[in-house]
Amino acid sequence: EAGVTQSPTHLIKTRGQQATLRCSPISGHTSVYWYQQALGLGLQFLLWYDEGEERNRGNFPPRFSGRQFPNYSSELNVNALELEDSALYLCASRGLWGTSSYNEQFFGPGTRLTVL
Amino acid sequence: ELKVEQNPLFLSMQEGKNYTIYCNYSTTSDRLYWYRQDPGKSLESLFVLLSNGAVKQEGRLMASLDTKARLSTLHITAAVHDLSATYFCAVPPMNRDDKIIFGKGTRLHILP
């Protein structure tokens, strides 16, 4: 069974540009979560999508947005990039509540975003 | 608001020694996860602890959960170099599936 996939692996942008990160969940999983892992700050919850809708977001400004497609893949967009947006962005997927093993989240390999 | 604290945040230890990583959380939850992260890599699920008193073991790692004390431990027995990694505990708010809160991670460095 294929795991969560993310693309690109690395992304280099300059301040003010926009970045688009992509995530494909495990087959059969309908929920996608996005996390930011900045150096020294641990993992911070960004966004949760389920069945095509944004269900919750963390304490991030509106320039962090995304969407989930009918095939449950997801896209994270970061507008007006700032230097402090440089981080590893991790995507995780989870199956339907109560159906997947322990309802745990399975993580993808991440996208390393560098803002110059 | 749920807060998750791990300690220590950094641990350097000799091979063959035993040590314990602690994870405290501030509000009620019914589950706790332990993950491992190698440098530059993603998170690998280690343990899922579902009930008070739950204990799980995999090789030299053993995790336990005390929901009354809101405390989980990850015990390392006779450490080997391959266990060098960062270990995270993560806790979801009770009866909510919207997000899980991660501790800051414990960076474990095992000296040969």
* Range(s) of the domain holding residue A55: 5-98
pLDDT tens-digit series, residues B12-32: 999 999 999 999 999 888 889
What is the percentage of chain B residues whose pLDDT exceeds 70?
Answer: 96
Q: Determine the residue among A10, A37, A43, A51 to mutate to test chain B binding: the one whose Cβ has the most chain B Cβ atoms within 10 Å.
A: A43
- Burial of A80 (C-beta count, 10 Å sphere; 0-12/13-18/19+): exposed
- Judged by a CB distance cut-off of 8 A, whether residue B33 touches chain A is yes
CA Rg value for chain A? 14
Give A-chain residues touching B98 at CB under 8 angstroms. 48, 55-56
8 A C-beta contact, residue B2 and residue B27? yes
8 A C-beta contact, residue B69 and residue B29? no
Nearest to A106 among B45, B88, B102 (CB): B45
- Asked whether residue A109 is assigned to any structural domain, the reply reads no
pLDDT tens-digit series, residues A2-28: 799 999 999 999 999 999 999 999 998
8 A C-beta contact, residue B45 and residue B21? no
Check residue A41 and give its pLDDT.
Answer: 73
- Asked whether residue A112 is assigned to any structural domain, the reply reads no
What residue ranges define each of the domains in chain B, with the CATH number in brackets? 4-111 (2.60.40.10)
If you search the block for the tokens 């995304």, which residue do you land on? A66
What is the CATH classification number for the domain harbouring A81?
2.60.40.10
pLDDT tens-digit series, residues A40-60: 778 899 999 998 999 989 999
- Asked whether residue A87 is assigned to any structural domain, the reply reads yes
Check residue A96 and give its pLDDT.
Answer: 67
Q: Beta partners for B102?
A: B90
Which residues, including other chains, have CB under 8 Å from residue B97's CB and lie 6 or more apart?
Answer: A31, A94, A97, A103
8 A C-beta contact, residue B66 and residue B23? no
- Asked whether residue A52 is assigned to any structural domain, the reply reads yes
Across the interface, whether the CB atoms of B31 and A42 are under 8 A apart is answered no
Q: Determine the residue among A104, A106, A111, A112 to mutate to test chain B binding: the one whose Cβ has the most chain B Cβ atoms within 10 Å.
A: A104
The amino acid sitting at A77 is: N
Q: Other C-beta atoms within 10 Å of B72: how many?
A: 26
- Asked whether residue A48 is assigned to any structural domain, the reply reads yes
Check residue B103 and give its pLDDT.
Answer: 93
Q: What's the total number of domains in chain A?
A: 1
pLDDT tens-digit series, residues A73-107: 999 999 999 999 999 999 999 876 666 555 788 99
Nearest in space to A72 (alpha carbons), one of A7, A5, A25, A8:
A25
- Judged by a CB distance cut-off of 8 A, whether residue B31 touches chain A is yes
Give A-chain residues touching B36 at CB under 8 angstroms. none
pLDDT tens-digit series, residues B50-67: 888 889 999 999 999 999
